[in-house]
Structures are given as C-alpha cells and as structure tokens.
Chains A and B, each alone.
Chain A
Amino acid sequence: MWSRQRGRLKPLCCGVEELRCRRREREAALRKARREQQLVSKRLLRDEALEEAEEGCVAMIFGEAEIQQFLRLAQRGTEEKEREGALVSLRRGLQRPETQQTFIRLEGSIRTLVGLLTSNQALLQLEAARCLHELSHSEQSAVVEACLPATSYLLTYLSGHSSDFIELCLYTLGNLIVESEAVRRQLLPQGIVPALAACIQSPHLTVLEALGYALSQLLQAKEAPEKIIPSASTDSSVLGSTLPQHMLQLLQPGPKLNLGVAVEFAWCLHYIICSQVNNALLITQGALSTLGLLLLDLAGAVQRTEDAGLELLACPVFRCLSNLLTEAAAEAVGGQLQLRDERVVAALFILLQFLLQKQPSLLPEGLWLLNNLTANSPSFCTSLLSLDLIEPLLHLLSVSNVVLTVLCNVAEKGPAYCQRLWPGPLLSSLLDTLAFSDTEVVGQSLELLQLLFLYQPGAAQAFLQQSGLQALQRHEEVAQLQDRVHALQQTALHG
C-alpha cells in the first residue's frame, strides 16, 4: 500500500469537501452493494477514475479504423519506440467503455493483443499487459470475458521473475476473478491456485500485495467455501496448498512485516476462516499464535505512529481471532499460546481506544473479540480486572451492548470476580442503561444485576438506595422483560 504513494497518485484537482462528498457517495453505493451481496470493488471503479482524468489527459474514443492502425503499428512497426507508442495510445483509449466495446468486436484484436503479450519484445509485452488490464477493469461482462484467451499466459507469467510484470498480471487476474463464476470456472482448472502458491514465494513486496489482492478476490467468491477452499477439491484447493502456511509467515510481526501485504493476507485468512471449512487445520499451523502476536504488534504500532491504515489490518485480525476462538481446537491449544497472555487484553484496549478516534464504526468488531476472549476464560476475566479496564470498558457502553455481555462474562464467574467489580462506576452505569428503551440492552442489564445481587453482598442495598426500583418499574409491562424485572424486585426487597 505504501509503495503506491510513490508518485503513482493521479493529480487531484477537486477540493477537500468534494472529496468527502464523493467518498460518502462511494460508501453508500458499497453499502447497498453489500446488502445485495454484490460487493465487488472493481465494478464501482471506472466512473470515479474517469472523472478525475480531466486536464488534457482525457481518453479519446477510438473507432475501428484507429484501433486497427494501432494494432498494425504495434505488430509490424519498424521502430521500437513507434510500436510501443502505438500500444500506449491504444491503452489510453481503452479507458473508455466505447473504445473497449469497439475493440472486442474487432476481429482478431484480442488474438493480436495476446500475440503481443507473449512476444519477445519486453516493453511491448508490458504495454500489452496494461491494455489487458484496462479491459479487465471494465464493468461490462462482455469486455472482461474477452480477456479469457489470455489467462493461461497470465498464469504462466506468474512463475517468471519480472516483478512489475507479475504485479500487473496479478491485478489483472484479480479483476478477472471477481467478474463471474464462469471466469473462475476457467481459471481454476488452469491451475490458478498452484500458480499463486508458487508465486507467493516472491521476495517482492509489490508482487505479494498484488497476489494478496487476487487471492482475496478468489476467496471472497460465493462458491469458495465449497469449491475453492476445501482440501478435497481436485483442481485447486487453497487449504490443500502451501498458501496458508505462507500467508501466516507473511503475517508474522517483525521488521519484515509490510502493512500493505499484511492487510491483504489478513483478509484472505478472514475469508477462509469465516467459511468454516477446516479451521482446526489453521490452528495446527499456528494461526492463533501468529494472530495473537500480530495483535500485540498492531497495538504497539498505533501508539508509535499516526500511520494511516492500521485499522485496515485491525479489522480482519479481530475477525480471524474471534472466529478461531469459537473452534473446539482453540480450547486445546489455548494453553500453550499467547492466548493466556494478559498483554492480549491490553493490546485490545489500546486498539479500541485507537478505533474510538479513528474509525468508531469498527468498535463492535473489537468488542466481539473481547467477548470471545472472556467468555470461557477466567484468566482473561481476571486480566480485565487486574489491569483496571472496567472503567474504560464502561465508557464504551453507548457503542454496543456487547459491553454488558462482557461484564456478565466476568460477573458470572462468581463472588471473587463480582467483588472486584464493586463498588465503582458500575452501578451508576447500570442505572443509566436501565433508562434505555432498547429491550436488548435492558435485558442484558437485568442479567448483570441478577449476578451482582447473587454474588456481591450489599449490591442490592446500594441499588435500592439509588432509586433502582423506580428504574425497574419502567419495564414492568414489557413482555420480554417482565419476569426478570419482577424477580429482581423481589430479590432487592427481600434478599
């Protein structure tokens, strides 16, 4: 990600307000797409980029004759610069959907392009690959699918050595992958998974980031849980390949950790894990350990730097850890790993604080992890108490009622725990939440109260003294809450 900023940014000629406005629009479009389960990044891309391509660099619309001329020149020109120039012009033209359509309809055009892609003229190859990349970006299926004859070559080139070229091939493949199941039905038997598994050993960060992108798109496919991830699949099986081990290696904290690369592979891991195909395998490969260490490292990083983008890594790490913790296998290995280490809890809170400022919408995901860490772990519940984190936790009550669930996780473990929850700000926070109209929130508050009354002498009294009964009365008629309200009233009054 950071390598992108080295002069590749197009000059932006609109103001900050306009940028914000566009971002809001893009966000709304993405949200809609996600709800329709059509979340495909590439699709929503082109118009945006086109608007930004003003000031003289507007791509022209080329007709058949012009395209033919460019192709002829590229193939048979005498001067190398001339041939390259022809392809550059063609590539610019291919930014326009109209030109793309004309291009794919022209007989022999793709064939010629593939011929140039596989020629021995290195710079022509590169430009031809860029043309193909433009086509792969298209929103029109016909245009994207016209690229299919090139896929076997794109895959072959992944075992080459030219990092820029490989990077381009990978982004192109990523775009193709995301297009349709039909495209993937060709790519899988062509060996895309083994090709990626070989390519992941590249030392080049740009290649790795591109590979992560392509792989994440592959893993995000609807049919991935049945056809791409499981080890029993014949052609291609991500879990059956060496990809998971390499991914975990690339996520190891340390001087070699690159944020852009880590973001991609953390998302890949998330798609695999949430598909719930064989998470036990990942656990035996050390996923919990690696992710735990990565969490610690992330927390360290947010303290040190204002670096943009750490939340992009925090999100998938939260998801992976949270889901893995629900596996039975996690219980078994929990003992050996960081997952008894109270630094994990410390790290999580540091990240929660960071998210509160940077990206509050991601807080629920962090709290989800906190729930999964504390649910069945006396150790982590103790850490919450010994590290003095109850008060900061209460601060997040307005964000999510998972905070109440976590407090219940702690309280339900008995008097030793409740003792440490009392006295303190807990009571007044509970009285606040009892004033909410949200039944879920109130219900959880009632559960917590019950535990406190049970395990902490004096809690009921204090509750009464603070007008707790009045707070309860409000909910006496609510169907889901009635029984519990009455039970609590009884306990408070009669012990």
Chain B
Amino acid sequence: MQLPPALHARLAGAPGSAEPLPVERDPAARTAPFRFAPRPVRFPREHDFFEEGDVQRHLYLQDVLTQVGGAPERPRVPEFTCQVAGCCQVFDALEDYEHHYHTLHRNVCSFCKRAFPSGHLLDTHILEWHDSLFQILAERQDMYQCLVEGCTEKFRTSRDRKEHLVMRHLYPVDFRFDKPRKSRGPVMPGAAEQVLAEAPGDDGVPSEVDAMEVCSEHVEPPPAPAGERRAYSHRVPHEDLKGPRREISTSNGGSSAALWRCCRAFPPRRRGPRTLARAALHVAGL
C-alpha cells in the first residue's frame, strides 16, 4: 500500500484541516431499494469482532507473565551495611537493600520502634497508641478510623473497628496491623510480648517473625540528643530515659502529639535509599 509522500510531512505539520466540501444530499439517494445511511458502529464487550485483537493481547500477556515469576538476576555489588543507626544488615544488591529499607526503616514509630508497611498505618498507630489527646476525644466521639483506604467509617472503640473490618471488609480476624493497645498506661516490655503472642503462625516462634516488630537487639535507643529529652521530661514526669519501649505516661493530659508526630520517623529521610546505598559504597572506598 503506497501512501502519498506528503502524508508523513502532514503528520508532522500543524493541526487543522482544509475547509470541508459542501454537503448536498439528494433525497433520491436513500430511496428504496437503496438503503445506505452512514452510521458510526459500536461493538460491545463480547462481540466476535474483537476476537483477533483479544487473542493477540493474551498472547502478549502470557509472554510477560512467564517472565514475572522467577527471581530476577540482580547485579551484585560489593557488600555494604545499612546506614541506619543500630541496623547491621549487610547487602550485596541494591534492590534488596531498597526493600529492606522500606520495610524496616521507612515508616517507623519513634516511640515504640514498630515498623509499618505504609505512612497511613503509621499515622493511625501513632494517633491511637501515642496521642493522649486522641484518648480524651475517643471518650466522647467515634475516633477509630477504618483502616481500609477509601472507607470513611469511624468507631467508638478499637473492637468495633475490628468488627467492621471483619464483617464489612472481610479482613482476617487476626489482621496484623490492627493490634489494640493492651492497656492505657505505660506499655511495658512485657505487654509488648503479650501482643506478639497473639500473632498467627506463632507457636513459640521468636519475635522476629511477627507483626512488624523491630527487635530490640537490632535497634538502639532513638538517637535524640540528651537536650531534647530533657525538654520533654518537664511535661512528662514518668519518662524513663533508658528504655526505648517505655510508653510515656498520659496522666498529665492535654499534651499535644503534634510535636512528637513530627519526630515520628527516624532521622528525616530527604534522601532515598539509593542515595544512601551509594553513600555506603563510597564509604566502603569504591
């Protein structure tokens, strides 16, 4: 099929078109036995007309899917260590490090060191576990927000919310990212273990495998300088400067979580993990 040579140039040219020729129909045109009338045609989903294109589409998908399943070949780099304070994981591939970083260090609660899969869940956690204002408001109105993205329902108690998650959203009863707080007082290390014991697939398994808990042996106390801690302590009589897991008492009431919320993430991550990894490589003398 030979196309006029000017066509390609026309495609590259400016938008627009020639003035349409005048339309002038003769009524005799559509008189029986002739019946042609121009009409745009519409095909619904299952129409046979689409068979050919659909088959081509699925052939393509099959090719793509055969390649998805296996673990990809990762370019190996000289070993480097995670740069986050207290974490000593070693890596030899950037993508592995990226996943590690996002899983363990990206959305971490600076109060209790729990890591969460998303910013949304982290925010919810901080609000419900570490914000005393939340507790006060919760006594008077529905504050427990449904965890499902897009659902705006709120509930009076954590239990009501769980029931909603199970009944309405078909979530598992033991959904790991919806652990209720055990007590209203300071969360003791013992209480944390109790929470862990509820996690499924457990039967005596070491805590590492459970719900997004960063193990204490991997992590040192938060790197906040001593000066900052003293600033908090004047409002918070029971703060224990030694233990990272100690919940700060809410007995004083009225303290805003806003200041604490801004420190919730580990040292502010303005750089992504790849930059950090490159820095690590640099440090390793490469």
Contact = CB atoms under 8 A, between A and B. Distances in A.
A372 B59 CA distance: 28
Interface residues of B, number: 107
Interface string A280-302: 00000000000000001001100
Contacts of B17: 340-342, 379, 382-383, 386
Contacts of B43: 274, 319, 322-323, 368
Interface string B42-79: 11111011111111111111101111111111000000
B10 A342 contact: yes
A10 B201 contact: no
Interface stretch (A29-37, A61-69, A246-254, A465-473): A29-37
B3 interface: yes
Contacts of A42: 65
A353 B1 contact: yes
Interface of chain B, main secondary structure: loop
B15 A416 contact: no
Contacts of A85: none
A364 B52 CA distance: 10
Contact of A300 (B12, B72, B119, B170): B12
B136 interface: no
B62 A123 contact: no
B195 interface: no
A125 B99 contact: yes
A364 B48 CA distance: 12
Contact of B213 (A49, A120, A160, A197): A120
B40 to A, nearest CB: 4
A49 B69 contact: yes
Interface string B12-29: 110111111111111011
Contact of B40 (A4, A121, A326, A365): A326
A414 B51 contact: no
B270 to A, nearest CB: 14
Contact of B22 (A414, A420, A483): A414
B252 to A, nearest CB: 33
Contacts of A165: 99, 102-103
Given A114-B200, A161-B106, A343-B11, A120 B208 contact: yes
Interface of chain A, main secondary structure: helix
B241 interface: no
Contacts of B150: 191, 193-194, 197, 241
A122 B96 CA distance: 8
Contact of A322 (B28, B41, B68): B41
Contact of A163 (B16, B22, B49, B98): B98
Given A190-B169, A274-B43, A378 B1 contact: no
Contacts of A31: 51, 55
B29 A121 contact: no
B176 interface: yes
Interface in A394-453: 395-396, 408-409, 412-417, 420, 444, 446-448, 450-451
Contacts of B39: 375-376
B60 A349 contact: no
Contacts of B10: 342-343, 346, 387
Interface stretch (B30-38, B137-145, B181-189, B231-239): B30-38
Best-surrounded residue of B16, B65, B177, B210 (most CB of chain A within 10 A): B65
A130 B45 CA distance: 33
Given A195-B149, A385-B21, A311 B36 contact: no
B214 interface: yes
Interface string A360-383: 011011001001101110110111
A149 B72 CA distance: 26
B29 A312 contact: no
A153 B199 CA distance: 14
A241 to B, nearest CB: 8
Interface in B164-207: 168-172, 175-177, 199-202, 205-206
Contacts, number: 352
Contacts of A123: 96, 99-100
Contacts of A7: 72-73
B175 A350 contact: no
A152 B148 CA distance: 9
A156 B201 contact: no
- The bracket for how many chain A residues form the interface is 35 or more
Contacts of B25: 412-414
A338 interface: yes
A271 B43 CA distance: 11
A191 B200 contact: no
Contacts of A142: none
Best-surrounded residue of B2, B3, B59 (most CB of chain A within 10 A): B3
A160 B150 CA distance: 16
A45 B60 CA distance: 12
Given A8-B72, A49-B69, A162 B103 contact: yes
Interface in A131-175: 133-134, 137, 149, 152-153, 156-157, 159-165, 168, 171
Contacts of B62: 26, 41, 44-45, 48
Given A1-B64, A275-B45, 20 more contacts: A7-B72, A9-B67, A30-B58, A122-B100, A125-B103, A137-B69, A159-B118, A168-B68, A198-B149, A213-B64, A276-B44, A300-B12, A316-B57, A319-B50, A349-B7, A374-B38, A376-B38, A376-B40, A379-B17, A454-B29
17 contacts: A41-B65, A49-B66, A115-B199, A120-B209, A130-B71, A133-B69, A160-B106, A191-B148, A274-B43, A274-B50, A276-B44, A316-B53, A346-B10, A365-B49, A396-B1, A408-B38, A446-B34
Which 10 pairs across A and B sit closest by C-beta, in order of nearness?
A: A115-B201, A194-B150, A483-B33, A414-B24, A342-B17, A159-B118, A162-B102, A122-B100, A378-B20, A447-B36
Interface of B: 1-4, 6-8, 10-13, 15-26, 28-29, 32-46, 48-62, 64-73, 95-96, 98-104, 106, 115, 117-121, 148-151, 168-172, 175-177, 199-202, 205-206, 208-215
